[in-house]
Amino acid sequence: MSLLSVRGVTKRFGGIIANRGITFNIAAGELVGVIGPNGAGKSTLFECISGFYAPDEGEVELDGARLTRLSPDNVCRRGVARTFQKLRPFQGMTVAENVMVGALTRTHDVRHARDQAHEWLRRVGLLEKANAHARTLSTGQRKRLELARALATQPRVVLLDEVTGGVDQRSIPGLIELVRELHAGGLTLLMIEHNMRVVTAVARRILALHMGELIADGPPDAVARDPKVVEAYLGQAYTA
């Protein structure tokens, strides 16, 4: 039984085919990595799943219900949350208020939303920053804030776009541990990850994209050895 189903998703930008007939299913409770060189179409795929882009062709379904062409708000209410590669916290708001934005998609009770925001900040290890302004956070802390905001929407599936990207080396193990914990708690996760070592350490299944196409889907060791994947990464800094 699949929770998230992506079938034949194609997205064009003028002459560029950013996603080309991408098809895969994610079962409830899976943690799946998405890899591929820069420009492979990874972020575009997340935009198509989360409703920020409407694919030109294909369908996305959550638990059998169509998500394609719903607004991002609607997709979020159906249970798909995402973090952004380019971080966009509300700079003028406090950390807790940013997370409340997520919680308020599920409740209109502000006090309840505030309690939930604090609970998620505790879970992601950012509680002591609750009253700080978002603009004062380090990149690693902003990644945790993005996660807390996504989780506060009570998602069934979370899409993580480069959660370790741009983060200092010291903060990476903690972020990976957090992803592991969320997965162990039953959350379904799809994570774009540039760092092959990170993704093979956490995911038991990897999707590899290249030039808009899904070129491999399987266990990390098999995907890393796949000739098409090796070729896609030729000349790039890539270590399995």
Ligand X SMILES: Nc1ncnc2c1ncn2[C@@H]1O[C@H](COP(=O)(O)OP(=O)(O)O)[C@@H](O)[C@H]1O
Positions in the binding site for ligand X (CB under 6 A): 13, 16, 18, 36, 38-44
Single out the residue of 127, 131, 74 nearest to residue 105, CA to CA. 74
- Nearest to ligand X of 63, 213 (CB atom): 213
For ligand X, which is the closer residue by CB, 41 or 220?
41
d(CA 189, CA 7): 18
Q: Which is nearer to ligand X, 42 or 205 (by Cβ)?
A: 42
CB neighbours (10 Å) of residue 111?
Answer: 8
Where does this chain bind Mg ion (CB under 5 A)?
A: 42-43, 85
Compare residues 97 and 193 and give the one whose CB is closer to Mg ion: 193
CB of 203 to ligand X, least distance (A): 17
> Is 41 in a helix, a strand, or coil?
coil
Specify the amino acid at residue 194: H
Q: Which of ligand X, Mg ion, none binds 40 (CB below 5-8 Å, type-dependent)?
A: ligand X
* Residue 169 interacting partner from ligand X, Mg ion, none (CB closer than 5 to 8 Å by kind): none
27 contact, one of ligand X, Mg ion, none, CB 5-8 Å limit per kind: none
Report the partner that residue 164 touches, choosing among Mg ion, ligand X, none (CB closer than 5 to 8 A by kind). Answer: none
Q: Please check whether residue 63 is in contact with residue 156, taking contact to mean a CB–CB distance below 8 angstroms.
A: yes
Closest CA to 169 of 198, 146, 200, 126: 198
Q: Which is nearer to Mg ion, 44 or 68 (CB)?
A: 44
Question: What span, in angstroms and rounded, lies between the C-alpha atoms of 233 and 150?
Answer: 31
For the bound state, the minimum distance from the C-beta of residue 223 to ligand X, rounded and expressed in Å, comes to: 16
Determine the distance from the C-alpha atom of residue 6 to the mean position of all C-alpha atoms in its chain, rounded to a whole number.
Answer: 15
Q: Are 76 and 68 contacting, i.e. CB atoms less than 8 angstroms apart?
A: no
Q: What's the closest the beta carbon of residue 195 comes to Mg ion, in angstroms?
A: 13
Could you say which of ligand X, Mg ion, none residue 90 binds, taking C-beta under 5 to 8 angstroms by partner kind?
A: none
CB of 85 to Mg ion, least distance (A): 5
Residue (of 76, 181, 77, 165) closest to 122 by Cα position? 181
